[in-house]
Amino acid sequence: MEELRDLRRRIRSIRDTQQVTRAMSLVASTRLRRIERFVEPARTYAETLRRVVLDIAARTPPWAHPLLKPREAVTRAYLVITSDRGLAGGYNAEILRRATDLLGAADLIPGHVAVVVAGRKGRDSFRRRGPRPVREYVHLPDTPDEALAQHVAEGLLADYSEGRIDSVHMVFARFVSRGSYQPDVVQLLPVEGTQHADYQDETRIPGTDNGGDRNEVIGRDNGGRDRERPNGPNLPITYEPSPESVFDRLFPHYLVSAVYAALVEAKASELAARTIAMDSATDNAGELIERLTLTYNRARQAEITQEISEIATGAESLR
């Protein structure tokens, strides 16, 4: 009798938990649909700005702007974006593992690494294991806004400009789909991929290596050659009043857009991971309820059989 009571209590408790996980999955899925609309525009905008910044940097001699001057990466900074809450499967663990691998792989001098953390989970982890974060951004909004991205980017740019750090890398989860995300690392400072010897090339289109993307083939002419639709005006590009002044105004905006896009993708990845985790928990709870129900029915059947046997034995003894 005591065993049956315990089984009923466990089944009721697991069923209540299943209702909670199902509700959390629905909430996360709803929020994911809402923020998923911002992922592609933010990513495209940041990548377009990055191509323009790299094009300007490739046209500008390194001595013309402080952000383009080469320097030895003595003090490295890492912006690690995690979540404020758990119950998202291995989402935070994967991001922190990637950040820890970077810190361990780089032969860093003690005291010459700075960690900037966005998200309570990352903050708590680095406080326990080190290095202690130099700046922390917690209580992240459900929908990342540019005000937070600007606050983070301005702090990083100020540290780099004043010489407190020599490079900045950003560790975050890149959103792939509702069922997938990928931990990624992006170098923000110094500007990577620049070839200053190319800045004389006035026909290069930003983001391409050979004067523009390949044009779309729309047919063949009478000679059998491909006819192509131009993919944009292949005209000389000039920056007024100078590439250095345009770079000076554009780069802070690019840095904000890159951080904002990372925050949006990280939030979408978190919600996708939470949806998957809660769906899995709901399914596991259902399987456990089925097994416990089967055990309960067998125990109940054994108890009924025993009671019938006792009644039959008692009736036989009265004859």
Lowest pLDDT segment from 52-61, 139-148, 173-182: 52-61
Q: Sign of dihedral through CA atoms 42, 156, 81, 148? A: negative
Q: What is the DSSP string of 206-233?
A: TT-SSSSPPPEEEEE-TTSPEEEE-SS-
Hey, how many other C-beta atoms are within 10 angstroms of the C-beta on 209? 10
Give 255's contacts (C-beta < 8 A, 6+ positions apart): 153, 156, 157, 188, 189
Instruction: State the average pLDDT over residues 103-127.
Output: 81
**Do 91 and 269 touch, CB atoms closer than 8 A?**
yes
- The reply to whether 229 falls in a domain is no
How much is the pLDDT for 212? 40
pLDDT-based confidence at residue 75 (cuts at 50, 70, 90): confident
User: pLDDT category, 317, cuts 50, 70, 90?
Assistant: confident
Give dist(CA 1, CA 205) in Å, integer.
80
304 is a domain residue: no
- Whether 70 maps to a domain, the answer reads yes
Average pLDDT over residues 249-254: 91
**How many of the other CB atoms lie within 10 Å of CB of 68?**
19
Q: Domain range for residue 40?
A: 10-192+239-280
Say if CB 273 and CB 89 are below 8 A apart: yes
Q: What value does the mean pLDDT take over residues 78-96?
A: 93
Instruction: Tell me whether residue 77 is in a domain.
Output: yes
Residue that wins the pLDDT comparison between 69 and 219? 69
Residues 264 and 175: their CA atoms lie apart, in Å, by 9
Inside any domain, residue 223 = no
**Which spans in the chain are helix H?**
2-59, 91-105, 120-129, 146-161, 243-317
Q: How far separated are the first and last CA of the chain, in Å rounded? A: 30
| Cβ atoms < 10 Å from Cβ of 276 | 21
Structure tokens at 168: 């900045």
295 in a structural domain? no
Render pLDDT for 207-245 as a digit per residue (tens, 0 to 9): 334 334 444 443 444 445 444 433 433 335 677 787 788
Cα atoms in the 13 Å half-sphere on the side-chain side of 14: 19
pLDDT band at 189, cuts 50/70/90?
Answer: confident
In a domain, 111, yes or no: yes
Residue 305 placed within a domain:
no
**Beta carbons within 8 Å of 14's beta carbon, 6+ residues apart:** 285, 288, 289, 292
Q: What are phi and psi of 77, to 5 degrees?
A: -115, 145
Q: Each residue of 28-43: pLDDT tens digit?
A: 999 999 999 999 999 9
Q: How many domains does the chain have?
A: 1
pLDDT greater at residue 238 or residue 298? 298
CA dihedral 176, 178, 179, 183 (to 10 degrees): 40
- What is the residue type of 21? T
- Give the CATH number, domain containing residue 275: 3.40.1380.10
What pLDDT is recorded for position 1? 66
Tokens of 144: 């990342």
